[in-house]
C-alpha cells in the first residue's frame, strides 16, 4: 500500500487527469507558478498522512498541551531558582551577622584583657600614658586645662608635658 502511494506521488499529472485539465483550461502551464502573474505555488502541496483515527485538530491540541506543560515546568524551575537565591542570600546574611557577633565578642575580650593589663600598671605610668594620649589624639593639655586646634598650636602655647613645666 505504501509503495503504491509513493509511486503515485512520484508521478507528475498527465493530460488525462481531470484536475490537470481544469488547470490548463484556466491558463496553467506545467512548471509555472499559479495565479495571474504565475507568481504563486509551482509545486504541489506535500501530502501529510495522519496516523491513527483521531480528528484533524487533535494533533495541534496535543502540541498546545505539551507546550503549556513545558511552559509550566519552566515557570516552576524559575520560581524554584528564585526561591533558592532568596534562601542563599538569607543564609549569607545570617552567617555574616554571626561572624560580626563573634568578632565583636573577640574585641570585647581583647579590650577586657587590655584593661586588666592597665590595672596592673603603676599609677605614674598610667598618668604618662593618659597625658600622652590626650596630647597626641586630642591636642589637650591637662595642666593648661585647654584644648588646642592642632599639634603645632599645642607645641607653641603649652609650656611642657608635665606639671613642673607649668
Domain assignment present for residue 12? The answer is no
Per-residue pLDDT at 27? 84
Q: At a CB cut-off of 8 Å and minimum separation 6, what does 118 contact? A: 126
Domain assignment present for residue 96? The answer is no
Domain assignment present for residue 98? The answer is no
pTM: 0.40
Domain assignment present for residue 46? The answer is no
Q: Quick one: cell of 63?
A: 502540541
Domain that holds residue 164: 121-166
Domain assignment present for residue 30? The answer is no
Per-residue pLDDT at 19? 87
Per-residue pLDDT at 143? 95
Average pLDDT for residues 62-85, to the nearest whole number? 96
Domains: count for the chain: 1
Q: How confident is the model at residue 42 (pLDDT cuts 50, 70, 90)?
A: confident
Domain assignment present for residue 106? The answer is no
Domain assignment present for residue 40? The answer is no
Domain assignment present for residue 153? The answer is yes
Amino acid at each position: 500500500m505504501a509503495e503504491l502511494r509513493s509511486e503515485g506521488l512520484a508521478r507528475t499529472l498527465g493530460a488525462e487527469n481531470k484536475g490537470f485539465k481544469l488547470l490548463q483550461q484556466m491558463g496553467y502551464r506545467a512548471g509555472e507558478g499559479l495565479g495571474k502573474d504565475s507568481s504563486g505555488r509551482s509545486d504541489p502541496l506535500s501530502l501529510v498522512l495522519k496516523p491513527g483515527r483521531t480528528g484533524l485538530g487533535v494533533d495541534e491540541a496535543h502540541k498546545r498541551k505539551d507546550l503549556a506543560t513545558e511552559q509550566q515546568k519552566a515557570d516552576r524551575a524559575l520560581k524554584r531558582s528564585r526561591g533558592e537565591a532568596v534562601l542563599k542570600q538569607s543564609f549569607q546574611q545570617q552567617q555574616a551577622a554571626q561572624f560580626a557577633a563573634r568578632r565583636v565578642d573577640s574585641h570585647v575580650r581583647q579590650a577586657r584583657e587590655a584593661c586588666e593589663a592597665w590595672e596592673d600598671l603603676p599609677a605614674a605610668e598610667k598618668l604618662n600614658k593618659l597625658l600622652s594620649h590626650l596630647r597626641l589624639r586630642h591636642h589637650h593639655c591637662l595642666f593648661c586645662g585647654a584644648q588646642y586646634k592642632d599639634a603645632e598650636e599645642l607645641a607653641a602655647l603649652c609650656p611642657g608635658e608635665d606639671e613642673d613645666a607649668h
